[in-house]
Structure 1
Amino acid sequence: MQYTTLGNSGLRVSRIILGCMSHGSDKWADWVLNEDKSLPLLKAAYDKGIICWDTADAYSNGESERIVAKTIERFNIPREKLVIMTKVYFGIGDEMSEYVLGQSPQELEKHGSRYINQCGLSRKHIFDAVEGSLARLNTSYIDVLQIHRYDPTVSNEEVMGALHDVVKSGMVRYIGASSMFTYQFQALQCTAKLNGWTQFISMQNFYNLLYREEEREMMKYLEETGFELVVLSSLYFAALHVFLGVLLLSDCFLDPGMILHPNA
């Protein structure tokens, strides 16, 4: 395995990052692997030198983070040997079968008062989400906390101020962003820089052979400013794969809505 620094930070990560969205509970989504199948795969990845794992609080309504914790405990993996990345923004369903990933705070509130302040990037939700992730991951810190989406309903000052404070509290080591436009990412970075706050070290966006929009602006911006692109869905939701020498493309994966708003 090869290793590199993440952006302009000193954090070293494996060039291949293990995405954990498909590890959790099949009650949340039928394509998700349960604990009995997930744990050996995560251990095999670790044995191959893939020491950076990327999950999110919303994946399997928190079960994905628990799977990461169980793997560490089951196989006695030293916590400091891993780089754990997780995310904050989306809500978590009360029941495992409740799939609320992809819903905005306004959409989620339609489910009832139990979801008020349970989604988005308000200071309250950022702190609550971090504390929840720490409990599920059974760890005292998160290596990289990524905001899962840009939240236009909360000021950039509130978002970046809260992220800076969770870093200073010791609960989070670094921060990153995910799934947003270049101007949104740049605005958040400028807000942090102007106030002397912690800045992002990475940007996770949708990029693959079929969807290359990031080459227009985001990748150029990241290269010029010293930040790192973490590739999301490099196989285009598994639509890109070779079987017996044939490239298989399913029409269901060519929905523009999935490209513009990938729920990952």
Structure 2
Amino acid sequence: MTEMQYTKLGSTGLEVSRLCLGCMNFGSEQPWMMNDEAASLDLLDRAMDMGINFLDTANVYSHGESEEIVGKAIEGRNRDELVIATKVFGGMGDYPNGQGLSRKHILDQAEASLDRLGTDYIDLYQIHRWDETTPIEETLSALDHLVETGRVRYIGASTMAGWQFTKALYESDVEDYERFSCMQPEYNLVDRHEEENLLPVCDAEGVGVIPWSPLAGGFLTGKYHRDEEVTEGRAASDEYTEERFTDENWAVLDEVRAIAEEKDVSAAQVSLAWLLHKPVVDSPIIGPRTEDHLVENVASLDISLSDEELERLESPKAPVWSRDIANI
């Protein structure tokens, strides 16, 4: 059995497991989600028993349902041993102030998330996207208030342009607001655009990195094949995943499969191991829907990749960033 590893989140003193359990699958909003609360709770329990102390959810995941399931899973456990992360920005109601990063929405949604999670504080509270309609100073002031009042321990951000994140860090320094401790970007072997956008900022500023979609919506597990009609899996109902079916990406997957065969491991394990070898990455956010997938993902911690193997995996595709590529 693989022994869990831990690391500090960015330049903070917060210890998190080297894999973070993403909780977007725990709900019923989309057909590819688990749609089974009992199975979701079992998976959460197994993950925590395996040493994963870092759980990431969001208020918009199945409109609060994911947070409620996480709350049930952590009930009765030692809260001090867990790092619970959630997010704010997306629409939670069709009414004025029902979304965004205004002071009102942030403070209202923080309280709502605390209630659904059944906890007195959130370890990591993240802005899910950049809000072009709200001054970043207002957003940072609200987040700073949550930290000062003890409802939040650390703050983080997700998916934005590098200049936006740099501006936010600058405003925090100038105004003496709480600083973002981590960034949650899309990052995997076929989506490497953040190497030309957010990752250099995070590296220079000591900001932790917890990538979402480390397996590219299932593409890097190897379950899809060239010229095959997609009838199941996330790509069957998610155009964003199917858009990854390009010649360049298939070439990357060819190398992933080849190295996996050489090492007698799975394509998913090689793909996660590549991320874990990146010095800027602290804890990739995995999203297993079965216990077998969870065990498989955790075993990636045991895989070592040589410099030559890393080059083989990266050579078919060069990182390029644009707002369209980054899906901002």
Name the SS of the counterpart of 1:29 in structure 2.
coil
Which residue is 1:174 aligned to?
154
Does 2:327 match 1:261?
yes
Does 2:106 match 1:126?
yes
Aligned pairs for 1:86-165 (under 5 A) are 86-92=86-92, 114-165=94-145
Letter in 2 for 1:23: F
Which residue is 1:85 aligned to?
85
TM-score normalised by length of structure 1: 0.84
| Counterparts of 2:48 and 2:227, CA distance in 1 | 30
1:126 deviates by 0.4
Which residue is 1:66 aligned to?
68
Name the SS of the counterpart of 1:115 in structure 2.
coil
Name the SS of the counterpart of 2:218 in structure 1.
coil
8 Å contact 2:184–2:211 — kept in the other structure? Answer: yes
Which residue is 1:32 aligned to?
33
| Counterparts of 1:259 and 1:37, CA distance in 2 | 34
Which residue is 1:42 aligned to?
44
Name the SS of the counterpart of 1:203 in structure 2.
strand
Does 2:28 match 1:2?
no
Letter in 1 for 2:184: Q
Higher helix share: 2
Which residue is 1:18 aligned to?
21
| Counterparts of 1:261 and 1:64, CA distance in 2 | 23
- Matched-pair identity in %: 44
1:260 deviates by 3.0
Name the SS of the counterpart of 2:219 in structure 1.
coil
| Counterparts of 2:227 and 2:61, CA distance in 1 | 27
Gaps (5+ residues) in structure 2?
245-322
1:209 deviates by 0.7
| Counterparts of 1:217 and 1:82, CA distance in 2 | 31
Alignment root-mean-square deviation, CA? 2.1
TM-score normalised by length of structure 2: 0.68
Letter in 2 for 1:70: K
1:254 deviates by 4.5
Alpha carbons of structure 1 residues 40 and 92: separation in structure 2 relative to 1, 3 Å? same
Corresponding residue pairs, total: 237
8 Å contact 1:21–1:55 — kept in the other structure? Answer: yes
| Counterparts of 2:324 and 2:117, CA distance in 1 | 29
Out of 171-180 and 209-218, give the one that drifted further.
209-218
